[in-house]
Structure 1
Amino acid sequence: MTTAGLTARLNRIGTDDSYVIIPMDHGLTMGAVQGLKDIESTIDGVTRGGADAVLTQKGIAPRVHDNTNGKGYIVHLNGSTTIGPDEQDKRLTGTVEEAIRAGADAVSFHINVGSDYEPEQTSQLADVTRKAGQFGIPVLAMAYARGPGVDSEDPEALGHAVRLAEEVGADIVKTGYSGDAESFQHVVESTRLPVVIAGGSKGTDRETVEMVRGVMDAGGSGVSMGRSIFQHENPEAITRAVSGVVHDDLSTEDALAKAGLALEVEH
């Protein structure tokens, strides 16, 4: 049964059941890369550009709240580093209670389905959904198809990952993109949860927006895009383009034009 609190908080991190979420927990993963040193300005820009919510680790919360322009806030509960022994080995970095104390509207948790760490991460995600359910806190499961012999863009593997998230009690699921709308439709149909996609490494503006258009055409519910947004030379503009597709059903061309990006030289 959906509680009033859960519904209210889902509305804080989305718009009409669609989502433009900007994760910026990469400072733990990659260090203070471009866009994250002055994270305050980036948060201000993306929320002005149409993001529904931003996402960080709990320790960044004091730098978040004054800059969200009234938008939602998600606290991520596990992580790893690119310089550690195995980036797929995500370890707990916070609890639901700590996220609540940090002012979060929702929590998120990363699981690599198909990896050596899948069993423990599945158990931990189940624990997170159980605890979050006691407080009416939404859970965004970042469920990727990753591991030995796993194709991270295979729609069957991605479909399995998103279904796992639903089976253990998540409220929204983020996963990788299969490359085109036709194949991604299988992923969306594998669960009743809203499905949002990761952005991956930064591409051209057109590539980013075309990918978002494909997700929405497949019946997806939006994006949870980090580096493609916060490492952009104009995070507010690229967020406006992405939001135009997700929230206003714009074409790729119209979204780029609305954001003032259509005539920019692609690098």
Structure 2
Amino acid sequence: MNTGKKTRLNRILRQYGLGNGTAFFLPYDQGLEHGPRDFAPNPAASDPRYVVKLAVEGGFNGIVVQIGLAEKFYWDYAGEIPLVLKLNGKTDIPPDARALSPVNASVEDAVRLGADAVGYTLYVGTPAQEADFEQYRRVRDDAHRLGMPLIVWAYPRGEAIEAKGGKDSFYAVDYAARTASELGADVVKVNFPHPEKRTDVPAAYAEEFTSQQAIDAVVRSANRTLVLVSGGTKAGDEAMLEKARESMEAGATGLIFGRNVWQREHDESLRFVAALREILAKYPSA
């Protein structure tokens, strides 16, 4: 890791959030990825200004947005919270069978906008993997050249994945974490693994594992790549808090919760964020 990356990561982890080396990010790219109806549970969240302000109020380490929202709405809070510029994304309209998330912004754009990191979605296991790896390589090279930390959304996708336990099986998530590490990610974002999903998975994953054993293994597979665990789709609060506890117990660097936060009414969002911050506070990094 060069000094530019180290400086920016230190700023994210030590000067924002809890300042204890843990990370808590608020992603807000779901309008592109899932469509405007994602904001229906809390219509206020359709306004990017509301969500950026919520990230500041909640004491997050950073907010993740696509370039259009970064250029139009991050301005009001520039310097108050780190920006993670998402460099690629796709709509929810085409099927996942040949999933590829096309690049729509550059690392140079991130530097211009004052970002502290960039994000890239890597679909592991699709037939479009060759093209995905090639455009990822160009992003990785630019990020290294410009000293910008690279956060990889390591998402298993495609028919082959669905035939072997599904995209959030222990097998798929573990494989994706290792793939991101070997391809040079500085930080990897993964979904919480479901070890109970064992249909036609390789023999090593066909045994019974607890959720703690599964997330432990995923963090180990990432090696020295920092791990962020996603909140995933909205579920009961206690279940999500337990996933957060197990993730941090496994050695994850932090959490990245989007819809689980901003789909709630404002005050309820902040109460839920406070509960997650209590968990993060118990796992400071050396």
Query: Normalising by the residue count of structure 2, what TM-score does the alignment of the two structures yield?
Result: 0.80
- Residue pairs, 1:77-92, within 5 angstroms: 77-86=87-96, 88-92=99-103
- Deviating more after overlay: 158-167 vs 148-157: 148-157
Q: Which of 165, 182, 186 is matched with 2:217 structurally?
A: 186
C-alpha distance in 2 between matches for 1:183 and 1:79: 28
SS for the counterpart of 1:107 is strand
Check the 8 A contact 1:44/1:69 in 2, yes or no. no
The structure-2 alpha-carbon separation of the partners of 1:155 and 1:212, relative to structure 1 and needing over 3 Å to count, comes to same
Alignment-mate amino acid for residue 158 of structure 1: V
1:17 maps to what in 2? 21
1:117 maps to what in 2? 128
1:71 maps to what in 2? 81
Query: What do residues 147-184 of structure 1 show as CA deviations (whole Å, max 9, x unaligned)?
Result: 22322233333222112212222110001111422211
Query: What do residues 28-52 of structure 1 show as CA deviations (whole Å, max 9, x unaligned)?
Result: 1223342542221222123322211
Percent identity for Structure 1 against Structure 2? 30
Q: Which of 150, 169, 177 is matched with 1:154 structurally?
A: 169
- Deviating more after overlay: 67-76 vs 137-146: 67-76
| 2:33 pairs with 1:29 | yes
Deviation at 1:60, TM superposition (A): 0.7
Deviation at 1:249, TM superposition (A): 4.3
SS for the counterpart of 2:46 is coil
Q: Which of 205, 227, 230 is matched with 2:237 structurally?
A: 205
- Deviating more after overlay: 68-77 vs 212-221: 68-77
Deviation at 1:140, TM superposition (A): 0.1
Q: Which of 227, 236, 261 is matched with 1:195 structurally?
A: 227
| 2:195 pairs with 1:164 | no
Q: Which of 46, 51, 59 is matched with 2:68 structurally?
A: 59
The structure-2 alpha-carbon separation of the partners of 1:116 and 1:92, relative to structure 1 and needing over 3 Å to count, comes to same
C-alpha distance in 2 between matches for 1:111 and 1:46: 25
- Deviating more after overlay: 81-90 vs 13-22: 81-90
Which residues of structure 1 form unaligned runs of 5+? 251-267
Deviation at 1:109, TM superposition (A): 0.3
Query: What do residues 164-220 of structure 1 show as CA deviations (whole Å, max 9, x unaligned)?
Result: 212222110001111422211111101221111122111122222111111111111
Check the 8 A contact 1:140/1:170 in 2, yes or no. yes
Query: Normalising by the residue count of structure 1, what TM-score does the alignment of the two structures yield?
Result: 0.85
1:240 maps to what in 2? 274
Query: What do residues 116-171 of structure 1 show as CA deviations (whole Å, max 9, x unaligned)?
Result: 22222122222211111111000000002222232223333322211221222211
SS for the counterpart of 2:84 is strand
Q: Which of 127, 150, 156 is matched with 1:145 structurally?
A: 156
- Deviating more after overlay: 63-72 vs 123-132: 63-72
SS for the counterpart of 1:162 is helix
C-alpha distance in 2 between matches for 1:22 and 1:37: 14
Alignment-mate amino acid for residue 29 of structure 2: D
| 2:136 pairs with 1:133 | no
1:93 maps to what in 2? 104
Q: CA RMSD in A?
A: 2.1
1:104 maps to what in 2? 115
Check the 8 A contact 1:48/1:69 in 2, yes or no. no
Aligned length: 249
C-alpha distance in 1 between matches for 2:121 and 2:177: 12
C-alpha distance in 1 between matches for 2:11 and 2:274: 18
Alignment-mate amino acid for residue 273 of structure 2: T
SS for the counterpart of 1:64 is helix
Alignment-mate amino acid for residue 162 of structure 1: A
Deviation at 1:69, TM superposition (A): 7.1
SS for the counterpart of 1:82 is coil
SS for the counterpart of 1:174 is strand
Which residues of structure 2 form unaligned runs of 5+? 14-18, 195-210
